[in-house]
């Protein structure tokens, strides 16, 4: 079985500051990991995903995430926050039944 824990349901950063959104997972099989972003009243958009190979994954809008097997983590980062990054972010892990298990989400607020 898979599970995802996102630490911090709300994160606030100043514009231009580092964004760090935390995600820890558990999986009974080698995990495939995803980060999605959701703007208000919209569907989810894929930011990036890790399957195999390089553990540092680059995504859209300047985001990246690093898969750390020893820490069972897949934290999302961006060096410099922009006002347009304000949204809710979901980490997800894919299991053997082709399903995604999502974390409960982190609401990112960017302060001017």
Partner 1 sequence: SQTIHQWPATLVQPVGSPLSLECTVEGTSNPNLYWYRQAAGRGLQLLFYSVGIGQISSEVPQNLSASRPQDRQFILSSKKLLLSDSGFYLCAWSRDRGTADTQYFGPGTRLTVL
Residues in contact with partner 1 by CB under 8 A are 9, 29, 32, 34, 36, 41-46, 49, 51-52, 90, 94-105
Share in percent of the chain as helix, strand, coil (round to 5): 5, 55, 40
Nearest-angstrom CA–CA distance, 11 and 30? 29
Indicate the burial class of 10 (C-beta count within 10 angstroms; 0-12, 13-18, 19 or more).
Answer: exposed
Query: In degrees rounded to 5, what are phi and psi of residue 33?
Result: -125, 145
* Minimum gap (Å) between residue 107 Cβ and partner 1: 9
What number of CA atoms fall less than 13 Å from residue 33's CA on the CB side?
34
For partner 1, the closer CB: 79 or 96: 96
Q: Which is nearer to partner 1, 14 or 55 (CB)?
A: 55
CB-nearer residue toward partner 1: 41 or 84: 41
* Minimum distance of partner 1 from residue 110's CB (angstroms): 20
Q: Least Å distance between CB 61 and partner 1?
A: 16
Nearer to partner 1, 17 or 66 (CB): 66
Task: Find the shortest distance in angstroms from Cβ 63 to partner 1.
Answer: 15
């Amino acid at each position: 079985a898979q599970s995802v824990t996102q630490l911090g349901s709300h994160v606030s950063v100043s514009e231009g500051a580092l964004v760090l959104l935390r995600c820890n997972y558990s999986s009974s099989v080698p995990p495939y990991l995803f980060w999605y972003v959701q703007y208000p009243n919209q569907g989810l958009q894929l930011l990036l995903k890790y399957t195999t190979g390089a553990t540092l994954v680059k995504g859209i809008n300047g985001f990246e995430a690093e898969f750390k097997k020893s820490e069972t983590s897949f934290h999302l980062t961006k060096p410099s926050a922009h006002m347009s990054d304000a949204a809710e972010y979901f980490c997800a892990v894919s299991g053997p039944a082709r399903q995604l298990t999502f974390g409960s989400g982190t609401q990112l607020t960017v302060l001017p």
